[in-house]
Each structure stands twice: as C-alpha cells, then as structure tokens.
Structure 1
Amino acid sequence: MDLKFGSLEGDDLNVTFGDVRGVEAASDGTIYVLDEQAAEVRVFDSSGEYLRTIVRSGEGPGEIGSANGIRLSGDTLLWIHDTRQWTIMGVDPTGEEVRRFFKPVMSYGYIWDGVFDDRGRYWRSTTHGDEDPGYPPPPGLSLWSERRYYKSYELSTGATDSVYVGESRFRSYGYTTPAGWGFLPLPFEAAELIEVNPSGGFWRAHNASYRIARTGESGDTLVVIEAGLPVQRFTDVDRDAYVESIVDDQPELRREAEEVAALTPDVKPILEGLFVDDEGRLWVERVTPRGAPTLYDRYSEDGDYLGSVRLAFRAAGPIRVQHGSIYTWVVDELGVHYVVRAPL
C-alpha cells in the first residue's frame, strides 16, 4: 500500500474514524470517507490530508440521519445511502444536495450494496416469499425458499422495474435452552453470487464451482468463464472441528452441533464474491484459508483473464478499484479504523 491514514487519538479529530462504511476516490486522487458513527462524509487530498467535511448529521438538505455507504458518480456527484431516512441523496463536491430519491428496496445490510449502471438506473436486490419460519425459530432444521429479484429505479423518469433472477433456498437450525433460543451456523452453505454489470445484465456464479456467466437482463447467457480449480472437500476432521467450536462455548449443544455437522455439504465453496471495477472489469474473489491474504482473479467483460491480485493487508470492508488503485479500510488490533490505498 502507498497510503494509510487514521488515528486512535490526536489533535485532529477529523482523521479519527469511529466506524468507516465507505471510501471513494475521484480522478485527481481526492478521497471521500463515510464515518457511520459520526454520520459524516469527510474529504481528504491524495496524500491523506484532511480538507473539509461536506455532509453532517441532521434532517435538513445535505444532511443524513445515518448512512452505511457512499458511491461516487464521476467526479461531481456523491451518492449517500441514508438508512434512517430511507433515501439515497446526491451531493456535489461542496456538500450541496442536488438530488434525492426514496429507495426502491426498503431494507439494508451492514454495507450498502446498491449499484448505478451506465444507463442511469439504480439497482438493488430483493426477495419475496411466504415460507419464512419466523421467530422464535422452531427447534431443529427449517427450510424455505424465496423468489429473488433485482429492482431498478430510473433516475431520469422515476420509473421502477424488476428482473426475476431465480429462487433462493435457505436453511437454518434453531435451538432452545433454559437460557433462551438461537441459531447454530450452517458452515459452507451453497449460494448463488449475483453482481449487476453496469454496462448491462448480470454476472452470476455458484460459490461451489468456478463457473461464472455474464447474462443479459432477459436471462440469456453471453459469456462463460470456467477454471479447473481443485475441489476442497468437507472432511470428517472438518466436521469434528465444527462440533468442538460450538461445544467449547456451549457444551449443552453437542447433540445439536453434531446434527448440523451431518448436514454440511461434501465440498466447500470456492468463490467468495464478485464485483465490477470502474473500468468494467470483473473481480472474482476466491475463498482463501483463514488468515491468508485475499485473492482476486480479474477478467474483461468478454471473459478474458487479466491476471490476479493478492492483497497485502486484511480489508475490513469491500474494496473499491478506482483510477488504478484499490481503496478500502483496515482495522487494527485496538479497533482503530484506517483508510488505505494500494496501487494495482
């Protein structure tokens, strides 16, 4: 990495971050940082020097209640995902509000995962189903399915639309004890990975195999990427280790942990995630051993292999690849947040 800034304590509180939830960079190297704890967006120059704060907490124009992500459109419009006001707000580089719209999907995760495509549409995934087991969970294994959609919002007209991308199946394992109820994690669950391609359509893959397809919005397959990586099998040693990881903290759950271990798939996931960078290249994150550096394979939109990137640090959030550099944040052993940049 060629830049790292942040502070546990110091004279300048503007470089002390409570909870970073987004880092974006303009073409001249200007860096925008969202601190969720302070409900602020701060601006830094390419050397990490603080310049100004352009968004603060509040309910007026250009102010946010709480936010969990930012997206920079060109160099002139910064979108902010306000989770308290259920809106997405756009501000210019000075912080003046120039646009606002209500979210087409009324939910959010830890980090905002919405995408703006090249046609000026905002995309976000959503699901619909009637089989959720509810709360408190019934003891044992529960199974249900939901229909998965990607919903779009046309910025110029306000029109909304959706694309059906298939059915998602879910499993959970509930338990009850005299102290209450909870869930046991089901390790290495199979899942489909879907990422909006800003130039149109989607990138899709199943995490248990290295086969990635670019599809159109109508579902037709346009490009397929395959790699013959060795299968990682889930062994009896893995199952025993899972059981012991549960009973170390909750010895009364041995029977339940053994039942969950018996439900694990035969093979482990190969893929961790997908994203598209500012030049339209697909980044495929592989599953790596615990503690090992994160590894990405890169491809053109036509599926040509462009090389791999192994991070020299452990990112605490999603990475953004902009203008030839990787931007993200890291957290040290004291819980201090630092913004980092690394050239490709």
Structure 2
Amino acid sequence: MSGKYRRIVVASLCLAALLFSAAATAWAQAKWKGTIVKEGDVTVVKNPKEPIYKTPVLELKEELSLGGPDAQGEAALDQIRQVIADGAGTLYVLDQRASHVKVFDASGKYLRTIGRKGQGPGELEYPMTISLNEKTGELAVQQQTRGIAFFETAGPFIRQLPLQGMLAARGCLDSRGRIFIVDIIWGEESSKYVTKKLDGQGSLLAIIAEAPTPSGPGNVLKAFMPIPYFRVDRADRLIYGYPQTYEVRFHGPAETEIVRKITREYDPVAVTAEEKAELEAGVPPGYPRDFEYPKHHPAYSRFFSSDLGHLFVQTFEKAEDGRVIHDIFDPEGRFIGRMPLKPSGLEIFKGKYYAIEEDEEGYQYVKRYAVTWKVEVPDRETGRG
C-alpha cells in the first residue's frame, strides 16, 4: 500500500468514526419534552416519563471503602447511620449503635472518635444525624430525644441544646446555625410528621410541612406509605419532598417560601407479595402484625444532591442486579437520565460520590467514588456550563 493511499484510508476511517460518534450522540440525546411554567412566584418544572439521555450521564470509579468484616480496631464500624465529608475529604461517620462519630482522613486513616454512649455531657443516646459547619469548626449530633450535642471537629464537647417535647426523626443544621427537624406528633386518633424550622436556640420559627404517620386505627400499620424527606444542601437550600406524588420542592431564603417544584410523570411500582412477607417476617415477637397494604409504592423513596445543583431521586424500581434506579435532574430541574445505584447515596461533592452500601451478608461500608460526568455540567467555581 502506498503512503498516499494509506493516508486516504486512515482519513476515511477517522471521518467515519466521527460521523458514527455524532450519530450515536444524537440517538442518545432526545429533545426534552417537559415544560417550565410559573405558578405565582413558584417555578414548576414538569418532566415527562423519559429522560433526555438514554445512555449514562456519569460514570463512577471506586476510590475508598471503609468498614465491613475486615475492618478491625479503631477502623471497625458497627451501624453506619450517616457520613459527611469536609472540603479536605475528611470523613465524619456516625455510628448509631456505638453512639459516636469516627473521623477518618481522605486516605481512610482513622483519626479520632467524637462522643460516646451515655446521658451525660458529651455523651450520646440514639443519635440520628450529624451536621458539619466548617466555618465554625463545629459538629452537631442530633439525637432522637435528647436534642443536639455540639462538638469541636477536633473532638471536645461544646454544649447540649435540649429540644423539649420533641421526638425528632430527622434533623440537620445549615451554615447559619438554623435547625430543620422532623418532629413526630402523636395523637389519640392519628399522628403526624411535622417538619419545623427552629432558631439556634431551639425556638420555633416556622412549620414547613405536615404529613400523616403510618399508624392506623388500633394496632393497624399502614405499610409502604409515603414518608416525608428533606435535605439542606451545601448552598443552604432546603429541599423537601412528600412522595405521595412525584414532586420535590425547593425553598427560598425564608424556607416557608417555595421557589421551585420538580415533578415527573411516572409508572407506579407495585408492592409485591415478597415485600409483604419480608416486612412481616421482620416484626419482633409480641409486636402488632396487622398491616394495611397499598397496591403501589410511593412515587419515590429519598433523594440526594450534588454541589453542582443536580438532584438524584431514589425510586422503587430495581435493575436486574438488584441495584435501585435513580432519576437524575440537572440544575434547571430537567430529567436528564437514570442510573442504578446501591442504596444509600449521600451526596456528590467536589467530584466525589459518597454512599453507605451494604453487602449480601448485611455488612455496611462507607464508599467514595470518583465521578466523571458524560454530559455538560456547570463549572464548580462559576456555576456556568
């Protein structure tokens, strides 16, 4: 083959590859068929069933794994409830059963333990969530009945904030020290979840939302019913959802003011006989076993966000390998893709995906993955694409 002919063949192959790549991209990316409308002061993003991209919008590569049966000594973890990473990649791991927070550096090396089990100063009882304020160097540990314990990130105990009369199912603090909490209010006829905003001293500022609990008349429990969920992201935005419908709402600086809603058309996922049997098998002896079952699961389970503004919504759909399908929305609220993930994703921060995962034997792990986006995303510094 002459040199000239070889160059022609190579050029033709390169051109064909470019044309194939362009065709593949055009096939993978569909025109968004949703709408963005204004309802008063609220921007409502209405999404169709199908996402913009048919192919994966991001890839994950595992970088770090903590916990599991091989973790020994100070590296051992018992019941992982929550994990937070700071800007340097330091990991704060809430161990609910051990009632303390273990701290690891970005390489996974154990550094220290914050708090211990008990009811005295600096001690924790049934901790539920943690919040990290890098500006003040404080770690807040929300407990179910004993309020919030504050520690320096270096370890020393600072103070205890009691939340009188509250049974807190979930709580967190923003960077300004305001508290967001789900309080369970029990009543004779019915009970409810009340999502509240409190000031830094625990006084009520506003009620964000209310939703019923699964309790029914007598000993009947309403299984698989919607449970309210919220997060406060790195930008101090309150993101709230009650999955009776597929709607997630974003609150403005006043928190009671809703500035955006994301909705999506979806096909409800049926509750299976296997799921009912598994639920009933897990009821301890002596506890009520009377359940009222719906035909379908709620619209979704929970969600997490990225520091670039994406929202990942965990559905009740499963892939063939058992992983759970997540719907992915871009910073404008458009449904851009779907991805199977092991529960439970926590956040994407500085190009890293953090999660709590469990293996087939029930061992828990803290996982960190490097994130590679396959679609255009906003610049982390400027916020522009």
User: Do the two structures share a fold, i.e. TM-score over 0.5?
Assistant: yes
Query: Aligned runs of 1:1-344 on 2, under 5 Å?
Result: 1-8=62-69, 12-58=72-118, 61-74=121-134, 76-83=137-144, 86-103=146-163, 106-109=166-169, 113-128=170-185, 130-132=187-189, 144=190, 146=192, 148-155=193-200, 159-163=203-207, 165-166=209-210, 168=212, 170=214, 172=216, 183=220, 186-189=222-225, 191=226, 193-195=228-230, 197=232, 202-207=238-243, 209-215=245-251, 221-232=258-269, 238=272, 260=292, 264-265=294-295, 267-278=296-307, 281-289=310-318, 292-299=322-329, 302-305=332-335, 307-311=337-341, 313-315=342-344, 319-344=346-371
- Structure 1 residues 314, 77: closer, same or farther in 2, change over 3 A? same
Q: 1:124 deviation in Å?
A: 0.6
Instruction: Say whether the 8 Å CA contact 2:74–2:110 is kept in structure 1.
Output: yes
- The letter of the residue matching 2:230 is E
CA distance in 2, matches of 1:334, 1:233: 26
- Structure 1 residues 277, 91: closer, same or farther in 2, change over 3 A? farther
Q: 1:89 deviation in Å?
A: 1.7
What is the CA deviation profile of residues 303-322 of structure 1, one whole-angstrom value per residue up to 9, with x for unaligned ones? 245654432x444xx62433
CA root-mean-square deviation? 4.0
Instruction: Say whether the 8 Å CA contact 1:7–1:15 is kept in structure 2.
Output: no
Q: 1:163 deviation in Å?
A: 1.3
1:172 is paired with a residue whose SS is coil
- Structure 1 residues 54, 310: closer, same or farther in 2, change over 3 A? same
- The letter of the residue matching 1:161 is L
CA distance in 1, matches of 2:236, 2:326: 22
- The letter of the residue matching 1:327 is Y
What is the CA deviation profile of residues 18-77 of structure 1, one whole-angstrom value per residue up to 9, with x for unaligned ones? 222222211111112222333332221212122222333455554434423322222722
Q: 1:122 deviation in Å?
A: 0.4
Q: Higher RCO, 1 or 2 (CA under 8 Å, sep at least 6)?
A: 2
Instruction: Say whether the 8 Å CA contact 1:197–1:276 is kept in structure 2.
Output: no
Q: 1:332 deviation in Å?
A: 3.1
- Structure 1 residues 98, 277: closer, same or farther in 2, change over 3 A? farther
Instruction: Say whether the 8 Å CA contact 1:4–1:338 is kept in structure 2.
Output: yes
- Structure 1 residues 299, 73: closer, same or farther in 2, change over 3 A? farther
Determine the structure 2 residue equivalent to 1:140: none
- The letter of the residue matching 1:336 is Y
CA distance in 1, matches of 2:81, 2:230: 20
- TM normalised by structure 1 equals 0.69
CA distance in 1, matches of 2:263, 2:159: 41
- TM normalised by structure 2 equals 0.63
* Unmatched 5+ stretches in structure 1: 133-143, 175-181, 251-255
CA distance in 1, matches of 2:93, 2:282: 38
CA distance in 2, matches of 1:83, 1:247: 25
CA distance in 2, matches of 1:292, 1:164: 35
Q: 1:224 deviation in Å?
A: 2.9
What is the CA deviation profile of residues 133-160 of structure 1, one whole-angstrom value per residue up to 9, with x for unaligned ones? xxxxxxxxxxx464x53222212x6542
Same amino acid, percent of matched pairs: 23
CA distance in 1, matches of 2:351, 2:165: 32
Instruction: Say whether the 8 Å CA contact 2:151–2:157 is kept in structure 1.
Output: yes
Q: 1:225 deviation in Å?
A: 2.1
Instruction: Say whether the 8 Å CA contact 1:207–1:269 is kept in structure 2.
Output: yes
1:271 is paired with a residue whose SS is coil
- Structure 1 residues 127, 280: closer, same or farther in 2, change over 3 A? farther
* Unmatched 5+ stretches in structure 2: 1-61, 284-288, 372-385
- The letter of the residue matching 1:80 is V
- The letter of the residue matching 1:3 is L
- Structure 1 residues 59, 295: closer, same or farther in 2, change over 3 A? same
1:114 is paired with a residue whose SS is strand
- Structure 1 residues 108, 269: closer, same or farther in 2, change over 3 A? same
What is the CA deviation profile of residues 160-186 of structure 1, one whole-angstrom value per residue up to 9, with x for unaligned ones? 223152453756376xxxxxxx65x64
CA distance in 2, matches of 1:279, 1:119: 21
- The letter of the residue matching 2:370 is P
- The letter of the residue matching 2:266 is L
Instruction: Say whether the 8 Å CA contact 1:104–1:151 is kept in structure 2.
Output: no
Instruction: Say whether the 8 Å CA contact 1:273–1:284 is kept in structure 2.
Output: yes
